[in-house]
Amino acid sequence: MAYYVFLTNFTDQGARTVRDSPKRADAFRAMAEKSGAKVHTLLWTLGKHDVIVLLEAPDDATATALSLSVSALGNIKTQTLKAFDAADMRKIIDKMV
């Protein structure tokens, strides 16, 4: 499984209904589980992004489908980053020429 970071920002709709944000987070966790992904951390933040999610998914297609699915609901916009743990980074470094 690969790691992904979702950097999210509320849309106008999401900001108007921010009180429902914890319920939407629970629904997102269920959506992720249904797609075969696992949410490790979901945090509301101050600054450039409103919510940051760290999740594991079996592949890029699953992570992308999950990001598109949650974005289609209209409450957030997402930016997805693929992330690497230390073991993955060691493998990447070993491939350097």
Residue type, 57: A
Domains of the chain: total? 1
Longest Cα separation, the chain: 51
Model pLDDT, residue 95: 97
Q: What is the CATH number of the domain that holds 56?
A: 3.30.70.920
| Structural domain of 40 | 2-94
* pTM (predicted TM-score): 0.91
pLDDT per residue over 1-26, tens digit each? 899 999 999 999 999 999 999 999 99
Closest CA to 51 of 10, 11, 18: 10
Model pLDDT, residue 15: 97
Residue type, 39: V
